[in-house]
Chains A and B, each alone.
Chain A
């Protein structure tokens, strides 16, 4: 039986071209475990200030003071998209603060599964804050899976309800500027975050604060202020340092006309 098991193990091979990525993943997991262990032993990690996330409390407070609502959209992707998952983790933090301040939170959804997840996440957040009576399930609603129909519907909500604060977090396409400019026109404080590189300029121009690329993924850890979650950001820094070393060595090798390093790490010349 042991022989059969070992035979099976040796039969399994890493897919062609995936070796270097696998190595990076293993190193990344090692770094994650190392920093997590340090965090559990009481180490605290310093992370740089992210203006957009520092403004979350201020933005929710503004809505509370004005007696207006907060609008939060998770973007135009499904629950299987990692940016949507990151957005949902931020939604949880925002919902907790909104519940604490007694501010209405509206979440128009593009995808029914994301809507169901959002409803559960917001409900749990209200429950944890002891404000379950203020939770309004109908404020987390489904609109449509048609891109511009969704845009029109969210713009309609923005114009009619005039929320004081708008969060645009997740993956967006061409509708990013339409939503952000409409939010801007109603005078809402807007915090956007996306990993869609092509849409970032639109958010930067139209929103008060923009989380650029990885900041969207760091947001949940940043807002949690929990050192074990923040430790993952240190693992990301380790990953960046590793890539920087690879880039540096690769550049030197390529500069001298050698493609050996590139062929070792599975790149093309």
Chain B
């Protein structure tokens, strides 16, 4: 299959967007604005593909009675509950999320479930920190030391004497070595982004077209 057409589209669209970023020219800037609006519209339509995939996957699980098929019933129940209360029980008001049932489901089901997942982070941080802070090498020992200083500086339980300067030490660690490393990574990321974007625009990298390298 010839890739010339998609490559030409990628090149023209990419160059026009680069042009919009750098140049102050009405027609080009309006074009970029128009493209961004269309991206949102296409993304909204693409949700249909996502929902179809979700349905197919869970219907298949139900049909075949695969392990955990009961969870698929929960998925369908949640899906239809939000659709029905959000889309059809609007009482003429098309902003359906205002319906009390929909709001109730959101506040009492979706939000606590999300918060539960988020709160798991505390336990995972503890287990990850335990592994990371074992002083097995010089680097790990330095990490442990820096982490202890930052934690103590952040929550100054110990006060008086040498401990008075802990917040300053913490700030120095964050502002100097930490910031220097972060910026070094960010410079690399910036160049990597630029390189990836140009590789795609100039057709050097073609894997996004479906794996072909020719």
Contacts and interface: CB of A to CB of B under 8 A. Distances in A.
B176 interface: no
Given A14-B23, A113-B46, A212-B185, A141 B54 contact: yes
B162 interface: no
B67 interface: yes
A200 B185 contact: yes
Interface in A194-214: 195, 197, 200-202, 204-206, 212-214
A102 interface: no
B140 to A, nearest CB: 11
Contact of A160 (B47, B67, B182): B67
Contact of A236 (B68, B131, B195, B211): B195
Interface stretch (B85-93, B117-125, B148-156): B117-125
B212 A195 contact: no
A240 B187 contact: yes
Interface in A205-245: 205-206, 212-214, 216-218, 220-221, 224, 226, 228-229, 232-233, 235-236, 239-240, 243
A123 interface: yes
B60 A138 contact: yes
Which residue, of A86, A175, A218, has the highest number of chain B Cβ atoms within 10 A? A86
Contacts of B204: 36, 228-229, 232
A80 B36 CA distance: 10
B34 interface: no
A28 B43 CA distance: 32
Contact of A125 (B195, B202, B211): B211
A254 B114 CA distance: 48
A125 B213 CA distance: 11
Contacts of A152: 113, 117
A28 B121 contact: no
B12 to A, nearest CB: 16
A236 B23 contact: no
Interface residues of A, number: 85
Interface in B35-68: 39, 42-43, 46-51, 53-54, 56-57, 60, 67-68
Given A78-B43, A177-B125, A28 B196 contact: no
Given A88-B207, A141-B54, A239-B194, A174 B121 contact: yes
A112 interface: yes
B49 A116 contact: yes
A96 interface: yes
A112 B49 contact: yes
Interface residues of B, number: 63
Interface string A84-117: 0110110011011000000000000101110111
Interface stretch (A45-53, A59-67, A142-150, A260-268): A142-150
Contacts of B175: none
Given A18-B21, A197-B185, A200-B185, A96 B211 contact: yes
B145 interface: no
B138 interface: no
Which residue, of B60, B118, B192, B209, has the highest number of chain A Cβ atoms within 10 A? B192
A269 interface: no
A128 interface: yes
A230 B147 CA distance: 38
Nearest to B202: A32
B173 to A, nearest CB: 14
Interface in B158-214: 182, 185-189, 191-200, 202, 204-205, 207-213
Contacts of B157: none
Contacts of B18: 25
Given A92-B207, A121-B211, A128-B212, A12 B23 contact: yes
B207 A121 contact: yes
A146 B132 CA distance: 30
Given A177-B124, A201-B132, 10 more contacts: A11-B25, A18-B21, A109-B50, A112-B49, A142-B54, A147-B114, A213-B192, A236-B191, A239-B194, A240-B188
Q: A-B pairs with the 10 shortest C-beta distances?
A: A217-B192, A124-B210, A112-B50, A214-B188, A142-B50, A148-B117, A214-B192, A124-B211, A92-B207, A112-B46
25 contacts: A12-B23, A15-B23, A25-B18, A29-B198, A109-B50, A112-B49, A116-B49, A138-B53, A144-B54, A146-B114, A149-B113, A156-B68, A174-B121, A195-B192, A205-B128, A205-B132, A213-B188, A214-B191, A217-B195, A224-B213, A229-B199, A232-B195, A232-B205, A235-B195, A239-B194
